[in-house]
Amino acid sequence: MTDATPRAKLLGLPGSLRRNSNSLAVLQGLRDALPAGIGMEIRDLRLPLYDQDLDTPDGPAEVQALRQAIADADGVVIVTPEYNYGMPGVLKNALDWASRPYGKSALIGKPVLVISNSPAFTGGVRAHQQVNDTLLAVSAKLVGGAQVVIGMVGEKVKEGKLADEAVLKFALGAVDKLVAAGGK
Ligand SMILES: Cc1cc2nc3c(=O)[nH]c(=O)nc-3n(C[C@H](O)[C@H](O)[C@H](O)COP(=O)(O)O)c2cc1C
């Protein structure tokens, strides 16, 4: 390992596809604030709709790439907004793809940190709960403890990045736990 080799490779998944997404901004802010030795690749979740007929060993290339990225990561950070009191369909769709093949999902035993956010003071906490439930169904290794729930996120994002020092510090504490859960 050289000095430039990250000690831990994280994968960041935003639950929103829009260009100016706060969820993406949270991940970008976190990525830039990670301590030396920890890196994060951010991938968008623009995938075909889950279709079991397409879920074959030579299925959609984007899905294979997502599964491989999860397998290669030491830990996954999911940042979700809340849509209609739940997780966005984009994220559920991606988790359904990632949950397969049954019994061989890259998410099994994978350390995952969930962060929710919203322009409302509620911080997307209902979406957070749904993501946790889905990850439990897949036997991912959820980072427990105090939930990272970011309310009034619009006030905490500057130039496309989470910029609130207190929230960043709190979220980085959870990332530490994620890295430790991956044995790093
Ligand atoms: C279809 C839809 C439903 C929404 N429902 C909720 C909701 O239930 N709770 C909430 O806090 N915000 C809700 N919002 C507002 C989103 O939190 C807000 O648009 C947020 O910025 C989306 O996340 P993003 O910035 O990562 O794209 C909703 C937005 C949309 C488009």
Question: CATH number, domain at 155?
Answer: 3.40.50.360
- In this structure, the residues whose C-beta lies within 6 A of any atom of ligand 1 are 16, 18, 21-23, 81-85, 118-120, 122, 124
Q: Which protein residue has the closest C-alpha to ligand 1 atom 3? A: 83
Ligand 1 probe mutation, 19, 83, 117, most atoms within 8 A of CB? 83
Under a CB-based contact definition with an 8 Å cutoff, are residues 75 and 10 in contact? yes
The residue range of the domain holding 158 is 8-181
Q: For strand 75-80 and strand 8-14, is the pairing parallel, antiparallel, or unpaired?
A: parallel
Q: Which protein residue has the closest C-alpha to ligand 1 atom 9? A: 82
Number of domains in the chain: 1
pLDDT value of position 7: 86
Q: Is residue 1 in a domain?
A: no
Ligand 1 center to residue 164 CA distance, Å? 20
pLDDT value of position 118: 98
91-109 confidence digits (pLDDT tens): 999 999 999 999 999 999 9
If 0-12 CB within 10 Å is exposed, 13-18 middle and 19+ buried, where does residue 169 land?
A: exposed
Q: Is residue 2 in a domain?
A: no
pLDDT confidence band for 1 (50 / 70 / 90): very low
Q: Is residue 3 in a domain?
A: no
